[in-house]
Amino acid sequence: MKLKGIIFDVDGTIADTEEIHRQAFNKTFKENDDIDWHWPEEKYREILLISGGKERFRKHLNEDETLKNKVDDHESFVHDLHKRKSKHYRDLLKSDGIEFRPGVIRLINEAREKGIQIGVATSSSMANLRSLFKKVLDIEPNELFNSIVTSDTVQDKKPSPAAYQCVLAGLGLDAKDCVAIEDTQNGNMAALAAGLKTIITTHAYTVDNDFAGASIVADNLGEPDKPLSLSQGNSFGKNYIDVELLNNIISNTTTNDRVSNIISIK
């Protein structure tokens, strides 16, 4: 079995953007006198268990009886909040010295050189994705990726496998020939439900998530001179994630014995 595709999540996986998103949420709340919300770091860890900005807004609106009774049209309210939050995110991104996480560009370049297709499955918008790649690499995402699925394309958020299924269809590949790179519990579940092996790169907001079934859980993809720190799985003697290691993973029929605990999402 040979690796044919790698599918990346974006926020927290390609780049450590979650803190910028948190700041954008709080900036949006602060400018609205009717909203008495603030999401500190500890709270935001819990919030990230909900995929999608609009979904997070809906949940908190439903839990806020005072605000819920003030708002006549809940969906319009949520859409307006999300629109303003997204603008704040893109504005903050322009002034932030953000870079891609260790190993991301190296792995993408290696895969492209070896004819391996690259995809993106994200719950973020295409506008946010374009802003990130413009900021870091000054290119359009479609200059790097063969198939891109965003929240503009697929409405069902992770842990639904819909985004991954759509990317696989766009790549014209079977899940057994691909791996997913993720950073969250919901992302891991979504990719597994789509039939993919998963590599998880954690960060401050997701390090305590449950990554049952993941082939590898590490702090990042690593670099030859900056080894990853492995917390779950078999890296086959490697100290960074490369195509050779990913080939070993998809060829290895032994799965994590906790994978049976994963509930497939229809």
Tell me how many degrees the CA angle 236-239-245 measures, rounded to the nearest 5: 45
pLDDT given for residue 213 in this prediction: 98
| Rg (alpha carbons) of the chain, rounded to whole number | 18
Q: What is the pTM assigned to this prediction?
A: 0.92
Nearest in space to 115 (alpha carbons), one of 238, 6, 241: 6
Structure tokens at 112: 């492209």
Taking the C-alpha atoms of residue 18 and residue 44, their distance in angstroms, rounded to an integer, is 9
Tell me how many degrees the CA angle 65-67-70 measures, rounded to the nearest 5: 110
Structure tokens at 126: 């295409």
Residue 117 backbone phi and psi in degrees, to 5:
-75, 150
Task: Enter the DSSP assignment of 11.
Answer: B
With beta carbons less than 8 A apart as the criterion, state whether 62 and 2 touch: no
pLDDT given for residue 265 in this prediction: 35
pLDDT given for residue 253 in this prediction: 60
Q: What domains sit in the chain, N to C, each tagged with a CATH number?
A: 5-16+99-261 (3.40.50.1000), 18-95 (1.10.150.240)
Q: Looking at this protein, which amino acid is placed at residue 25?
A: F
Sheet holding 178-182, edge to edge: 147-149, 117-121, 5-8, 178-182, 197-201, 216-218, 230-233
What SS3 state is found at 140?
coil
Mean pLDDT by 10 residues, the chain (266 residues): 97 97 98 95 94 94 93 96 97 94 99 99 97 97 98 96 99 99 98 99 97 99 98 97 98 52 35
pLDDT given for residue 258 in this prediction: 37
With beta carbons less than 8 A apart as the criterion, state whether 9 and 122 touch: yes
Per-residue pLDDT of 21-33, as tens digits, reads 999 999 999 999 9
Structure tokens at 226: 């900056």
HSE at residue 72, side-chain half, CA atoms within 13 A, is 0
Catalytic residue positions, numbered: 9, 11
Residue 226 backbone phi and psi in degrees, to 5:
-140, 85
